[in-house]
Structures are given as structure tokens and as C-alpha cells.
Amino acid sequence: MVDHTTVLIAGAGPAGLVLGNLLRAEGIDTLVVERASWEQVRTRARAGFLGPNSARVLTEHGLGAGMLHKGLEHGVCAFRGEDGEFELDYSRLGRGEVHTVYPQQDLVADLVAEYLDRGGEIRFGATVTGVDPGTATIRYRDEQGESVVSGRFLAGCDGSGGVTRQAVPGRRITQDHGVSWLAVLAEAPQSMAAVTYAIHDDGFAGHMARSPEVTRYYLQVPPGDDAEAWTGERIWAALDTRMRVDEFGQLKQGPIIDRRIVRLRSDVAAEIQHDRLFLAGDAAGLISPSAAKGANLAIMEAETLASALVSALRHDDERPLAAYSRTCLPRVWRAQEFSRWMIDLLHTQDDDFHRALRRARLHSLRDCHAHQNFFAEHYVGI
């Protein structure tokens, strides 16, 4: 027996859940299939920086109550290096826009609750085992065994390694940036008011507040390094060195509650649609976390895809769907370009020429107003 719905969505991350909510608001039947359990979805820590366009989408569609209540506006970042520290108040540069800091797991919990209130259905613990783009059908396996479900359209929002991504033929444009981070969550208040990027010959270090009680840190580590080899003592010692605490003051330490290795890489599909299948989020284009663009791209793609699906289902006009790749991919590549720019700005290479170039970029960012406006516009927007 095959279950049927109108729009079948693989993946309960920001892309799939925003898409499901926008379609349910139009009275369109949807079903979300997610391989993780609800507990895993609710607790997995991800990025928490929402740009103004993401905040607009959430607010305009009644999905931003938690963000508006608990989110913190952030408009300043700082850079530390051998020549000292400088801050950029990007809220006063470029378009005068800011980020909203709101942990992604909290956003996902909000989106799940709203989606269920709107009459949507989610099947957690369902691993997709096969996809047919021509009939918008997937097979999945859960505790009850194998099942098949189909729709008029299928949205692939199950990540860069998901099965829907593999079902779209054509080129994959990939890049391993040759950089790995140890991503750390510390049960400790933020040590400085601004997001801080520290450039050091030992490697990059980053400080990003997530909530009043939890702070995200990043440490550049050798590719292939083992997260478990980084004890709490070793993490704090490396952060002290790279954050130059002797010069700028001690960090507020606390227990390390999560650590994992993140390899900075990019993977973009040359086309993000095939027959009745449309990709969004990391399935459409994986981006390195160096510029906090992943969740923001996912939300904007979900809004674009929802509008196109409404045109097809409510107005019998599939032209926006036909143009989906052409609409979204230029935005993806603009974000990729700035992400790569940030990688080059922040990371250590082992030769004097590239060290000198990095230092010159920082000096330009510190001193050149035009360079600062470029940074602000691309750092916040997509």
C-alpha cells in the first residue's frame, strides 16, 4: 500500500520545516519524513546566526515568536591578531543590518510545534532508502518496516549526504577547503560582547555566543584530527593562546558539553531540480560554516520553493517551479564566494607570502571604509 500526500518533504531541518509550514498555511497537504528521532532533532546543536532575510521570512509567516522573544540582536564583530584588536560595527555599515542570534535547535523546536499545530504530519526515525523523482515517491524504513509514500511533488531537504541529493543527475561541484575546525560548545557565559575572530600562527580561533549560558568556540585543527584527543584542558589552553588572553583578558571557562570535527567543504549541485523533485538546504548546496550562511540559505530556498509550489498547485502555473534552479543557484554561489573569502581571511598557511597577504587583508578591513561596507553587506546578507 502506498500513502499519498500533495507535497512530500524529506528532512526536518530548517528548510523542510519552513517549507512545510508555509505550505500548510496555504492549506496544502504535506508529510515530512525525517531519519532522526524527535529527541535527536530537538537537541542537535547547529548554527544560530539568522540574517535579516531569514528573520523576515519567519516573522512574516508567523514562525518567529520564539526568535522575537528570546533572540538577541548582534551587530558587532571583532578581529584579533598580531597587530592588536579592532571591532566592526556592521550595523552601521553596508545596509545597516544585524544578525539575530537564536540557537538552531530552538528554532527547529518552534517550527515543529507550529507545523503540527497547522495540521502537518512528521514521521521521525524514518530512513529513506529509495527515491523516484518522476513519481515523487520515496521508500523508507522505520520500526514498522518498509513503507512507500508519494506526492505530487517531492522536496529533498535531507542534507548533502541524503538520498534525495543522489537522485538528481548531473554534476556536483565540490571543493575541500583543506581546513578543519574543532567545534566546541562550552557551558560558560560569553567572554566578550562581540563575535570574535582570532588569527594566530597556531591557527584560527573563534568565539560566538549562543545563549547567556552557552558559548560556541572554534579551533582550527589539522585535517583528520580526533575530537576526543582534545581534552577540556587542552581546548582551553589553545583558546587562551590563540585568543591572546595575556593581552586582552581571560576567558570565562566552563565544562565542555560538545566537541566535534567540522571539515570545511562545499558541494553544490549544478541543477537542484529533476522531474517532480526539488532540493533545498544543504541538499541543494553545502556551504562551509565560515560565514554562517547554511541555515539562512535553507530558509530562503524554502520560501522560494513554497511560493513556486503554491503557484503550481493553486494557480496551475508551473513556470516558477521550472525556474527554481535559475532563481536559487546564483544566490548560493554568492554565499559560497563570501564563505571562501572568509576562509582565506581567517586561516593560517605555512608560508610567509600568504601570512603577509592575510595581514594586508586585515589591515584593509580595519582601515578602508569601502572594504568595511563590502564586508558588512555580504556578512549579513545573501
- CATH code assigned at 213: 3.30.9.10
Task: State whether 41 and 140 are in the same domain.
Answer: yes
What are 219's three cell numbers?
579551533
Task: State whether 155 and 251 are in the same domain.
Answer: no
Tell me: the pLDDT tens digits for 182-191?
999 999 999 9
Average pLDDT of span 292-316: 96
Band of pLDDT at residue 355, cut at 50, 70 and 90? confident
CATH of the domain at 6: 3.50.50.60
pLDDT value at residue 1? 46
Q: Is residue 97 part of a domain?
A: no
For the ranges 221-230, 241-250, 270-279, 342-351, which has the lowest average pLDDT? 342-351
- Please give the Cα distance from 111 to 114 (Å, whole number): 5
Is residue 128 within 8 Å of residue 158, measured between CB atoms? yes
Q: Does residue 348 carry a pLDDT above 90?
A: no
Q: Torsion angle of alpha carbons 47, 51, 53, 59, nearest 10°? A: 70
Instruction: Write the DSSP assignment of 236-301 as a string of letters.
Output: HHHHHHHTTHHHH-------EEEEEEEEEEEEEES-SEETTEEE-GGGTEE--GGGS-HHHHHHHH
Task: State whether 107 and 130 are in the same domain.
Answer: yes
Q: Is residue 96 part of a domain?
A: no
Task: State whether 243 and 290 are in the same domain.
Answer: no
**Where in the sequence is the domain holding 214, given as residue range(s)?**
177-264+350-380
Tally of structural domains, the chain: 2
What are the catalytic residues? Answer: 74, 197, 289, 293, 379
Task: State whether 206 and 277 are in the same domain.
Answer: no
Average pLDDT of span 88-101: 93
203 or 354: which carries more pLDDT confidence?
Answer: 203
What are 318's three cell numbers?
508551473
What are 91's three cell numbers?
550595523
pLDDT value at residue 113? 97
Task: State whether 120 and 183 are in the same domain.
Answer: no
Percent of the chain with pLDDT over 90: 84
Q: Does residue 43 carry a pLDDT above 90?
A: no
- Please give the Cα distance from 68 to 61 (Å, whole number): 13
Q: Is residue 310 part of a domain?
A: yes
Rounded alpha-carbon distances, angstroms, from residue 169 to 133, 165, 270:
10, 9, 9
**What are the beta bridge partners of residue 215?**
186, 209
pLDDT value at residue 45? 66
Task: State whether 144 and 286 are in the same domain.
Answer: yes
- pTM, entire model: 0.94
For the ranges 76-85, 216-225, 349-358, which has the lowest average pLDDT? 349-358
